[in-house]
């Protein structure tokens, strides 16, 4: 098993970014993407007074992280939920507002490392890719049943795949002979379908298609679009949010939500900007922060990470 799965990405920077909010008495922090609990454990250790609420849609991740966090007893509340269900979770727990929120988006190391989950293109496995295996349809069903036009749209929009049409033509041709069930067959098909020039750049040629399928299967971008604004709304004044993204589509959503919160909404030309139009957020990062070279050398999965942070400076004024 890879050692990378034990190394939370940009951990020190995330802790430092959240620290001013979590050192307040009675602070509550939400880890919206618990995974194996690396970030959560570090939060509980660094801030001994903090209460943690941690969400994950993957039941196996919750079980493993639960064992890891058991020494912290009632300070940690683990919930089986997708992160866009944050408002309902807080409501159910009777928590009106929180002091810190952390998102570590994308696929957890555990999901990549467990071969039978079908996330990794480097090993043959059933084409599943569901983060919560108790619900929804897997990647094989998407490949075998979606109309060609819809598959092209997914590969272009979610995988930024320039060769989408060529790959989908090959998929449609092959699925008529025999439905797709495993990842190796799909990887081989993509290799055969792409022109030589396209195979020479950007790593494994199947990478973008696998990303696109994973995002579609788990409705990831829909969840991020709902979850990040909901998390900002849940923050108390002085509360802070840190978001780690691993691909440009997610990072763009986070950037837009933070930029909108940090901008005035006043009509142009007002001599004095009334309170209700004032920015609600202060940005804590200039653009997106990247991992250090040392961190990437230690943990290759940190390489594509982009970190953005913001602080809540005002209540919403109706």
Domain identity same for 147 and 275: no
Domain identity same for 162 and 286: no
C-alpha to C-alpha distance for 175 and 191, rounded to whole angstroms = 16
Total domains present in the chain: 2
Residue where one domain finishes, among candidates 218, 253, 287: 218
Mean pLDDT of the residues in the chain: 89
12 is in an annotated binding site: no
Domain identity same for 207 and 277: no
100 is in an annotated binding site: no
In a domain, 318, yes or no: no
In terms of residue numbers, what domain contains 286?
Answer: 3-110+220-312
Residue where one domain finishes, among candidates 200, 218, 236: 218
Domain identity same for 231 and 307: yes
269 is in an annotated binding site: no
pLDDT at site 7: 78
**pLDDT of residue 124 exceeding 90:** no
Q: What is the per-residue DSSP string for 255-286?
A: HHHHHHHTS--PPTT-SS--GGGS-SEEESSS
144 compared with 299, residue with greater pLDDT: 144
pTM over 0.85: no
Domain identity same for 99 and 243: yes
pLDDT at site 86: 97
39 is in an annotated binding site: yes
**pLDDT of residue 6 exceeding 70:** no
Q: Residue 165 sits in a domain of what CATH number?
A: 1.10.150.170
83 is in an annotated binding site: yes
118 is in an annotated binding site: no
In a domain, 129, yes or no: yes
């Amino acid at each position: 098993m890879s050692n990378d799965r034990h190394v939370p990405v940009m951990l020190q920077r995330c802790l430092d970014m959240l620290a001013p909010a979590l050192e307040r008495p009675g602070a509550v922090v939400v880890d919206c993407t618990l995974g194996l609990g690396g970030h959560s454990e570090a939060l509980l250790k660094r801030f001994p007074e903090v209460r943690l609420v941690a969400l994950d849609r993957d039941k196996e991740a919750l079980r493993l992280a639960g064992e890891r966090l058991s020494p912290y007893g009632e300070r940690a509340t683990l919930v089986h939920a997708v992160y866009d269900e944050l408002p309902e979770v807080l409501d159910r727990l009777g928590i009106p507002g929180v002091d810190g929120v952390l998102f570590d988006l994308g696929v957890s190391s555990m999901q990549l490392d467990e071969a039978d989950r079908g996330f990794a293109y480097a090993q043959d496995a059933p084409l599943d890719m569901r983060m919560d295996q108790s619900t929804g349809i897997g990647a094989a069903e998407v490949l075998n049943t979606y109309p060609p036009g819809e598959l092209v749209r997914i590969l272009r929009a979610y995988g930024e795949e320039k060769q989408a049409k060529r790959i989908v033509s090959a998929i449609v041709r092959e699925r008529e002979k025999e439905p797709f069930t495993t990842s190796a067959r799909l990887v081989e098909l993509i290799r055969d379908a792409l022109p030589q020039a396209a195979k020479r750049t950007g790593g494994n040629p199947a990478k973008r298609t696998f990303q696109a399928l994973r995002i579609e299967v788990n409705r990831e971008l829909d969840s991020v679009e709902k979850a990040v604004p909901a998390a900002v709304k849940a923050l108390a004044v002085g509360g802070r949010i840190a978001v780690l993204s691993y691909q440009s589509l997610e990072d763009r959503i986070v950037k837009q939500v933070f930029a909108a919160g940090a901008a005035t909404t006043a009509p142009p030309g007002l001599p004095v900007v009334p309170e209700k139009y004032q920015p609600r957020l202060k940005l804590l990062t200039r653009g997106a922060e990247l991992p250090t070279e040392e961190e990437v050398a230690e943990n290759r999965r940190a390489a594509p990470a982009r970190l953005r942070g913001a602080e809540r400076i005002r209540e919403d004024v109706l």
